[in-house]
Structure 1
Amino acid sequence: MHALKFEEALAQLEQIVERMEGGRLPLDESLAAYRRGSELLKLCHQQLSDAERQIQILDNGSLRDFSVSGSEAR
């Protein structure tokens, strides 16, 4: 099984939330969905942390606020 990309994991997480919010899942399916959602959330957080570390490395160890001025956006 391949590692999920961030976008794939987030899409699956959104589907789980929609199913759970519908309130029609049996208890055992709700527990399984919650467990899977927790795994996906952890994966997303890890991938975001990894991306932040890569940005810090590329930006000489500091993570700066990103802002786009009118002249830079063109």
Structure 2
Amino acid sequence: MTRKFFDEDGHQVKDFQLLTVGLLTYSSDDRFQVEHTRHLGNWALRIKGCRKEDEGHYECQISTHPPQSIFVELRIVGLFQ
């Protein structure tokens, strides 16, 4: 799972940040964890204690030829207390 950074016009402004590969987490932020339900083939990125700075575009890519990706935009619209 990677995270990409874009400006308001949709132009990428920074390189991507690698978060996970398979079940391994490469982020130094331990709030990011990957979950995998093997028998269902489901993968999920869990972000504990989401913050405003977690907003952005996230990409989940599978290593097929050619690679396939799903993009998700995370927006924080309120705080849960």
Structure 1 length-normalised TM: 0.22
Greater radius of gyration (CA): 1
Bigger fraction of residues in helix: 1
Structure 2 length-normalised TM: 0.21
